[in-house]
Structure 1
């Protein structure tokens, strides 16, 4: 009985001081601009040792990064093709990352999630501090929360949600160490994510994952995320869901709802596939290479899509509005 009381007091104290029992790692990225704004680049599906125009995309990222004076970069997964990294000494890390994103403006922190191709290699290698020692910019975890001023980014490991990786692996081997049993992993992740979102007082809530929830791309909608993750995002009034996986650039959304942004054009693209989608929701579908920027203030977030030549394909502004008033203003270039 005494042990029970001690345990109960411990749990209450944890809840009091931490706000929740969530196990998600929380990070702080300092805000350096006087107005509190943030400028970010987002790229995905890139790690091909410079091939398939990866180097050209990186060059344009550097130019735009300088123009915007970016604070950091987000990678939405599939960081190293075709089968992730073999270990933390794999030369592919430097060949696909350090030697490619060399522009001075890109010498900022990179926050990354894992893609399905990363899970085909040694996952622990990408999570290893040994890579950070090789290149200080690199930070990759399965799931974590990044706080930066007015914004909280919820990075989510979406790979274990996908049934086909377990039931029909297509002759691929996936590194599920520290994931199995799968049901417990997913349940814990959703629980922790919901807790972190509910205690958040951030002006903006963005979720970053690899797989698409709404997409007209080749891979199609990830139904497991629609069924299990999307309700949590909607309940907690998330503003943006940002992903890769489909090798294209997309913006899907309706007024007053979550905006779904795909930035998976970091290297190999031009798949020639676009699935049917409501044209009122599909604001952009570009079947090619490129990347995206986010400019965030207290009153709005502006996202811009660029092609491999640095041309602006599409831009849209999402205002921070009350529950009743406001609308999304769109600009097309």
Structure 2
């Protein structure tokens, strides 16, 4: 499966806040952010206390594919255009990416709060993305990007255009939905990554302020006919995949125990495809982290790139649409975040021909939870010569 595309910045400008016009709360926020900015080069959390043990990280063995995933990391629309939690989480992810020798990052949407970017907002790309995710382990590898609901409030095509304009070439967002294939350095296994636009599939909430009534209301069910072209593309991609691991990434979750909750459209239309093609799903949207496992499908929710955490309420649509409680293997939310002392987080993936390890990390890079190992979709020979020949014919990015 090859990279797919289906669709198709004033100069950098500095916004100088006028102190006399700022609210007291925003002024305090600015002071804290300036202090954080001055400490970027020397900050270190290696001695911070934890109330939970941190599992060790594995160095990347020969013949593996390792990567990180992060959602809801989009900073702040006011100077300095990032949050303290985002900045610290970027440092932690840089540590893990270096340790694992990660080959890429998956960015799961809500890349720029709170209203995306316009064509003239090139300063947001620099100050919310380039300057924050600056560890060498994160600047020298590609970032495969999709849009979230907040990105769609702005000009999403400006983010797509940045794929051509970004100075280090790491921002890979060729179209609203796109796919990528990876082969292990020794050729022992492959991964297919299908990135989808869930706003196109599910719609969007017109309320942008999370403090406003209705912000967390569930989106109504949409039929496949409402996004016929993308649904056909998704199924065609999944059907054609012969990879050992098939991953689908989108902004909205299938299941979620946090404030936004589950997404009925994805439960109705995407979950059956995940089950049919033995795929697993990565998402964000809710500012929590959690892991579901249902009928051998793993659902990874990683939405703490910018903050922790939303509440995990018991609302009607949560109870009606989420699976049995036993399917929820782990959760960090507002109710239990003090146990972990986490202000942000991300996930890492370590794949070999035998299994894929999924780990959830706090802003320091400490491991908070390790999911059950994910086996490959098929062992060598399960589909005989037909599968082996098809895999050999696929053009893939071979990772060093």
Question: Which position in structure 1 is the counterpart of 2:393?
Answer: none
In 2, Cα distance between equivalents of 1:151 and 1:321? 10
Shift of 1:24: 3.9
Name the structure 1 match of 2:215: none
2:344 corresponds to which residue?
289
TM-score normalised over the length of structure 1: 0.78
Alpha-carbon shift at residue 52 of structure 1 (Å): 4.3
Contact 1:88 1:128 in 2 (8 A): no
Give the superposition deviation at 1:311.
2.0
Equivalent residue in structure 1 for 2:64, among 24, 37, 40: 37
**Structure 2 Cα separation of the partners of residues 75 and 215 of structure 1:** 18
Instruction: Return the match for 1:120 from 153, 174, 180.
Output: 153
Q: Is 2:177–2:196's contact at 8 Å kept on the other side of the alignment?
A: yes
**Cα distance 1:37–1:88, how it changes in 2: closer, same or farther (>3 A)?**
farther
Partner of 2:39: none
2-structure distance, mates of 1:250, 1:259: 11
Tell me, in whole angstroms, the C-alpha distance in 2 between the residues paired with 1:130 and 1:39: 23
Q: Could you tell me which of 374, 382, 385 is aligned with 1:318?
A: 374
Aligned to 1:148: 182
Q: 1:262 to 1:95 in 2, by over 3 A?
A: same
Shift in alpha-carbon separation, 1:151–1:43, aligned structure 2, 3 A? same
Question: CA–CA distance in 2 between the matches of 1:90 and 1:23?
Answer: 26
3-state DSSP of counterpart to 2:365: coil
Listed as ranges, the gaps of 5+ residues in structure 2 are 7-59, 76-80, 184-189, 210-222, 334-342, 380-400
Matches of 2:248 and 2:278 in 1, distance apart?
A: 11
1:25 matched residue in structure 2:
5
1:276-331 superposed Cα distances (whole Å, 9 cap, x missing partner): 664421111112520000001111000111112322110022123669xxxxxxxx
Q: Unaligned stretches of 5+ in structure 1? A: 1-18, 27-32, 173-181, 324-333
**Distance of aligned partners of 1:145 and 1:88 in 2 relative to their CA distance in 1, 3 Å threshold:** farther
Residues 309/53 of structure 1: CA separation in 2 closer, same or farther (3 Å cut): same
Q: What whole-Å deviation, never above 9, does each CA across 1:90-140 have from its counterpart, x for those lacking one?
A: 311111000000101112110011000000001110000465433411111
Q: Contact conserved, 1:88 with 1:130, CA < 8 A, in 2?
A: no
The aligned residue for residue 303 of structure 2 is 264
| Superposed CA offset, 1:23-78 (max 9, x none) | 9439xxxxxx8843111010010111321410000000111111100000000000
Counterpart CA distance in 2 for 1:127 and 1:116 is 15
- Shift of residue 184 of structure 1? 5.9
Q: Residues 135 and 308 (structure 1 numbering): CA distance in 2 closer, same or farther, change over 3 Å?
A: same
The equivalent residue for 2:197 is: 157
One of 200, 203, 215 as aligned partner of 2:256: 215
Matched-pair contact (CA < 8 Å) for 1:98–1:135: no
1:301 equivalent in alignment to 2:350: no
Q: Which moved more, 1:218-227 or 1:84-93?
A: 84-93
For 2:64 and 2:100, the matched residues in 1 are separated by 11
**TM-score under structure 2 length normalisation:** 0.66
Classify the secondary structure of the residue corresponding to 1:253.
strand
Deviations 1:148-178 (A, max 9, x none): 0100001011012224x2xx62379xxxxxx
Q: Is the 8 A contact 2:348 2:360 kept in 1?
A: yes
Report the 3-state secondary structure (helix = DSSP H, G, I; strand = E; otherwise coil) of the residue aligned with 2:370.
Answer: strand
* Larger strand percent: 1
Give the superposed CA RMSD.
2.5
Structure 1 pair 306/133, CA: closer, same or farther in 2 (3 Å)?
closer
